[in-house]
Structure 1
């Protein structure tokens, strides 16, 4: 009984087998691509949620410090934060919250400041931002709002 290697047997894959594998890989890639394409938008939205949390925490901590010792400015970690009605002004909230200008573009507008991710396309600026409206006599606490409806 000779059970050795048969030299006449098939030595590789047929063309049909290779085409089937390529088609299956193409279908998998086509179904996975939309999921991976929207990851940048999800990352921007998550980054803005983190910025909102930092702004909110900084505002609350500085308000607590102001309640202990009311002053027009408060020094925190070597930075001077201007206060208005016991809360940080729109001009100094980015410093207080630790928002890096390399990560966020700030657009001040009166008593409001709007932060958008630095790499955000211009057409999405109105749908992907976090805003800080400083405290006024009419509104005792700052209003912090986030819009992440379209950050792709």
Structure 2
């Protein structure tokens, strides 16, 4: 079956089977490989995208269920001129990544959080990111990155 959706502002279509997950549709059908698949069980958050403005773990959503939807992936987070978004820049500036595998999901989660809560506390950020696993950084610099992206000081962030 052919599935059509708006991905990163452009209408896109690909042939797919009814059982195809959104993560596979994006990675294989559309060649948008920034959406990572870490666990296939919705536990790690590496596959987080936005569907109609809401965060969704793409490894648990069927592509056909997104027919006609607006999907934003990490590739769609950059500014129109191709420069990094404020969230992406904050992750770079505050070393909110190491191996980078979790980073797309973390950035997408941060964007959803900041959309709903433009000035989160450190506790808010830590709580919101519980659904995203990072095996490298220990979250300290990720939290700093999200707070910096919100325009807040990162000095009081405690190392854990």
- TM-score bucket of the superposed structures, by smaller chain: under 0.3
User: Per residue, is there more strand in 1 or in 2?
Assistant: 1
Q: Which has the higher helix share?
A: 1
- TM-score of the superposed pair, with normalisation by structure 1: 0.26
TM-score w.r.t. the length of structure 2 is: 0.25
